[in-house]
Chains A and B, each alone.
Chain A
Amino acid sequence: MGFSEDFQYQGLAPGMGRKQVLENCTVCHSTAIILQNRMSRKQWDQTLTWMQKKQGLWDLEPSLRKAILDYLSTHQGTKKSSPQPHNPLGHQYSYRPNPL
Chain B
Amino acid sequence: MSNRQKPNASRRAFLKYGGLTALTIAVDFSLPLLRPSYSGWMAVANADPLDDISIPGKNGLRILNNRPLNAETLPHFLDDEITPNDRHFVRNNGLVPSSAHEMDAKGWTLTVDGEVHNPLVLTLEQLKRFKPYTYSLQIECGGNGRAGYDPPAKGNQWTYGAVGCATYTGVRMGDVLRSAGLKNSAVYTGYYGNDLHLSGDPNKIPISRGTPISKAMDEHTLIAWEMNGRPLPTLHGFPLRVVTPGWPGSTSIKWLKHITVRDREHDGPKMTGYSYRVPRYPVPPGAHVPKRDMKIIESMPVKSLITFPKSRLNWKYGKPLQVRGHAWAGDSSVKTVHVSIDFGANWGETSLTPPANPFAWQNWSTMLGFPKRGYYEIWARATDTAGVMQPMVVPGWNPKGYLNNATHRVAVTVL
**A interface vs B, CB < 8 Å?**
6-11, 22-23, 26-33, 36-39, 43, 47, 54-57, 78, 85-95, 97-98
Contacts and interface: CB of A to CB of B under 8 A. Distances in A.
A-B pairs, 7 with minimum CB distance: A7-B47, A56-B199, A92-B311, A93-B411, A89-B147, A6-B48, A30-B67
A23 B68 CA distance: 18
B48, B200, B204, most chain A CB atoms within 10 A: B48
A55 B270 CA distance: 11
Contact of B68 (A29, A86, A91): A29
A22 B410 contact: no
Nearest to A28: B198
A1 to B, nearest CB: 8
A43 B154 contact: yes
A68 B201 CA distance: 23
Interface residues of B, number: 46
B43 interface: yes
B43 A93 contact: no
A30 B46 contact: yes
B43 A7 contact: yes
Contacts of A32: 49-50, 63-67
B64 A36 contact: yes
B157 A87 contact: yes
B81 interface: no
A86 B311 CA distance: 21
Contacts of B271: none
Nearest to A58: B199
Contact of A89 (B36, B155, B159): B159
Interface of B: 1, 36-38, 43-44, 46-50, 62-68, 147-148, 151-152, 154-157, 159, 197-201, 204, 269, 310-312, 343, 375, 377, 393-394, 406, 409-411
Contacts of A86: 50, 157
Given A29-B68, A39-B152, 20 more contacts: A8-B44, A8-B47, A27-B38, A28-B36, A29-B67, A29-B198, A33-B65, A36-B157, A37-B155, A47-B154, A55-B198, A55-B204, A56-B198, A56-B204, A89-B148, A89-B159, A91-B409, A92-B310, A93-B411, A95-B343
Nearest to B269: A54
B43 A8 contact: yes
Contact of A26 (B38, B157, B200): B38
A39 to B, nearest CB: 6
Contacts of B151: 78
B48 A23 contact: no
A74 B85 CA distance: 40
A38 B152 contact: yes
A27 B197 CA distance: 12
B290 to A, nearest CB: 14
Contacts of A85: 147, 152, 157
B185 to A, nearest CB: 28
A94 B67 CA distance: 33
A66 B375 CA distance: 50
Nearest to A37: B154
B65 A29 contact: yes
A97 B159 contact: no
28 contacts: A6-B48, A9-B47, A10-B43, A26-B38, A27-B37, A27-B199, A28-B36, A28-B198, A29-B68, A30-B46, A32-B64, A36-B157, A54-B269, A56-B197, A57-B199, A85-B147, A85-B152, A85-B157, A87-B62, A87-B159, A88-B157, A89-B147, A90-B1, A90-B159, A92-B311, A92-B312, A93-B377, A93-B410
A39 B311 CA distance: 30
A49 B38 CA distance: 21
